[in-house]
Structure 1
Amino acid sequence: MLLPRALMIVALIVTAALWMPVAGTLAVLAEEDVSGPAPIGEAPPEPQSYRTDNYRKPVPLTLKGATVLSDSEAMKIWTAKTAVFIDVYPRAPKPEGLPEGTIWRDTSHMTIEDAVWLPNVGYGVLSADAAQYFQRNLEMLTKGDKTKPLVFFCLKNCWMSWNAAKRALSYGYTNVDWYRDGSDGWQEAGGLVVDAHPLP
C-alpha cells in the first residue's frame, strides 16, 4: 500500500507544477494552435456571427457578402496581381517576464508568395489594439480604396480567415474574397510558399 500512495503524492506534485501559473505563460496558453493537418468533416451552415473558439474545424461553404475562391480561382487572381492576399494565421506573442538572457524564437510560418501576413486578426473577438492594427493595415494596403480586391486566407478548415473576411466586410470593404483552402490548398495545387514575416 505504501508504493501506490507514494506514486499518488508524486502525481499530485507533478500536476500542481504543471498548472502553476508562471509569468507570461497564460498569454501563450490563451492562443489557440491551429497548426497540423486539416480536420475532416461536413461543412456546417454559415453562422450569423464570428466563430470564437475551436478555430480549426470544418468551415462553411459560404460567407455572405464575399466571394469564396477555389484553388484555380485564387491562382488566377494571384497571377493577375489584381488583389491583396492577406494571411491571417495566428502568431503566439512573446511571453512577458522571461528571465534575463532567455532567447525567444518565433515559430516559422510559410505563406503564399507575395501575400501579406496580418497575424491574430482572425479571432472571433479582437482587442482594441488588434482591431486597430487590422484596420490601419487594411487602409494602408488598399491606399484607402475600400473597393480594392482583398483575398483572405489561413489554412484549410480554419475559421480565422472566415472571421477576418467577415470583419473586413463590416469595416466597409466591398470586394472581399475568401480563399477557403488557404495555404494548404495552394501548395496542393502546386503554388509557391515562402517564409512569412508579419507586418509590424
Structure 2
Amino acid sequence: MARHHTHRMEISMRKTLAAIALLAAAGLTLTACGEDTDGDATGTESSAAFNDADVTFARQMIPHHEQAVEMAQMAQGRAKSEEVLSLAEDIEAAQGPEIDSLQGWLDTWGEDVPASGMEHGDMGHDSGGTMSGMMDEEQMSDLMAASGADWDQMFLEMMIEHHEGAIEMAESEVDQGENPDAVALAEKIISDQQAEITQMQQLMQP
C-alpha cells in the first residue's frame, strides 16, 4: 500500500515538474517576443527619424517638382517631337507620385507642407533664396508662348537646368539627410534625372 502511494506521489511530482518546465519555456518565449517587439519598435522609430536636412529637402523638392510637372504639361499641343512629348509625359508621371510622398512625409513629421500654386519667383524663399534650377516667371511665360521645334529646344534647355538643380538638392539630402525613405528618394532622383539629362542632351538640336 505504501508502495502504491509512493508511486502516485512520483507521478504527481513528474506532472508538477513538467508543468513548471512548460511555464518556464512559455516565460522565455514571451520574453523573447517582448525583446523582438522592442527591437521592431526601435527599428520603426529609426525609419521614422528625420532631421532638418530631410525637412528642407522635402519642402524644396515639392515646389521644384511641381514646376517640372507644370513645364511637362505644356508639351501637349506645343511639342513637335514625339520623343520630347514622351519625355515630358514620363517626367509628369514620375514626379507627381514623388510630390505625394514628400507631402506625406512632411505631414507625418508635423512640418508645414508648401502650398501648391505658389508664384514661381517666390518658390524656395522660405529656405533662403531661389532653389537651384528653378525657372522664373519670364522663362515660364516664354515657354508657354512657344510652340513646335522652338518649344522643344526651349523645353530641353530649361529642363536640363531644372534637373541639374534637383540633382544638386538630392545630393545634399544624401549627404546630410537622416530619414532612410527620404534619402532613398533622393538617390532615385539623382539616378532617374541624370538618365533623363543624357536623353535630353541627345535630343537637343546641334
TM-score for both structures, normalised by structure 2: 0.24
User: Which has the higher Rg, Structure 1 or Structure 2?
Assistant: 2
TM-score for both structures, normalised by structure 1: 0.25
